[in-house]
Amino acid sequence: MSARAAVTTTPYGEVDAAALEGLQSRYDTTRVLDAVDTLDELRTGLNDPEGLRDDLLRLHGMAHALVNGASFTATTRDASIVEQIEDVIDQIDHYVTGLLSIRDALHPLEALRHEDMAGPDRD
């Protein structure tokens, strides 16, 4: 039988007492503010009229014409389909990297969950 983790009650709910003590001594909460800044940057990029959405629509038009024989919608001045694919994938990689950095900043706070607390990753 394993010893139960000590739980402490806070204004924000019950948390693992040892994890809270550890975080108080080593976790820099400005990481969460940095995560907000990262999210704002990602949102700005996603909302940009010349951003990922438009690039995906342009890529769809190119692929639809090549694969399905639809009429061509992109002008010859536009990037080639290969360049368009590379650009879209680069943008997606940028967003994924940003989201993973947010996740990494928040992950240490997950230790606050005490063992009696049910969660998606708990047995």
Report helix, strand or coil for 9. strand
Q: How far is CA 84 from CA 1, 49, 123, in A?
A: 58, 16, 44
Domain boundaries along the sequence of the chain: 29-110
Instruction: Report the C-alpha gap between 61 and 77 in whole angstroms.
Output: 14
DSSP letter assigned to residue 69:
-
Instruction: Report the C-alpha gap between 85 and 107 in whole angstroms.
Output: 32
Question: Is pLDDT at 1 greater than 90 in this prediction?
Answer: no
- Which residue pairs, CB below 8 angstroms and at least 24 apart, start in 5-11? 5/114, 5/115, 7/114, 7/116
The predicted-structure confidence for 12-58, as pLDDT tens digits, reads as follows 999 999 999 999 999 999 999 999 999 999 998 888 777 888 889 99
